[in-house]
């Protein structure tokens, strides 16, 4: 009886071994710049306070992306995102120097949320637009305004 028990235990503890080999190729993503690393200026000129509605005064953001090599790893995606101080009333708008006024960025007519990467193709960049937006119920003063944001391109 003891012999049978030992044989059964031996069957429970048998194992197989196999070697595992790992291979790969390290790649460096290309260095890319937006608009030759120059500040992109959007000038809205005179904006009538009562006409700010998220579509009036919309302007195209003139930008380009240039990368240092044409060779691309097909498994890597180019993404575009933007950052800045978000407004307290719109997650796709940066705040301005005037409380209750922001600048919203849009892509294909839709809000382009701050810090949200958008997959893009370097040869067919999306059209980005900027438009003034205001917080509901706020009374804006007559004054010069400005806002700042940063466009960023990455490979992932």
pLDDT digits (tens, 9 = 90+) for 54-96: 999 999 999 999 988 766 777 789 999 999 999 999 999 999 9
CA distances from 120 to 50, 139, 151 (A): 35, 38, 13
For residues 82 and 112, the answer to whether their CB atoms sit within 8 Å is yes
For residues 91 and 106, the answer to whether their CB atoms sit within 8 Å is no
The answer for residues whose C-beta is within 8 angstroms of residue 110's C-beta and 6 or more apart is: none
**Which pLDDT value is given to residue 15?**
72
**Which pLDDT value is given to residue 71?**
66
Taking 70 as the pLDDT cut, the residues of the chain under it are 1-14, 70-71
**Which pLDDT value is given to residue 142?**
97
**Which pLDDT value is given to residue 29?**
82
Q: Which fold has domain 27-155?
A: Immunoglobulin-like (2.60.40)
**Which pLDDT value is given to residue 57?**
98
Element (H, E) at 2: helix 2-12
Instruction: Copy the structure tokens of residue 63.
Output: 């930008």
């Amino acid at each position: 009886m003891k012999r049978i028990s030992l044989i059964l235990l031996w069957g429970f503890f048998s194992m197989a071994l196999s070697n595992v080999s790992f291979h790969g190729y390290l790649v460096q993503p290309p260095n890319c710049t937006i608009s030759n690393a120059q500040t992109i200026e959007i000038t809205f000129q005179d904006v009538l306070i009562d006409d700010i509605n998220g579509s009036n005064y919309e302007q195209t953001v003139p930008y380009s992306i240039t990368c240092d090599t044409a060779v691309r790893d097909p498994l890597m995606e180019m993404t575009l995102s933007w950052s800045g101080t978000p407004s307290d009333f719109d997650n796709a708008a940066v705040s301005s120097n005037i409380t209750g006024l922001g600048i919203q960025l849009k892509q294909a007519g839709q809000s382009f949320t701050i810090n949200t990467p958008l997959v893009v193709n370097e040869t067919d960049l999306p059209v980005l637009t900027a438009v003034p937006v205001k917080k509901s119920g706020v009374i804006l003063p007559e004054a010069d305004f400005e806002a700042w944001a940063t466009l960023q391109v990455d490979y992932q």
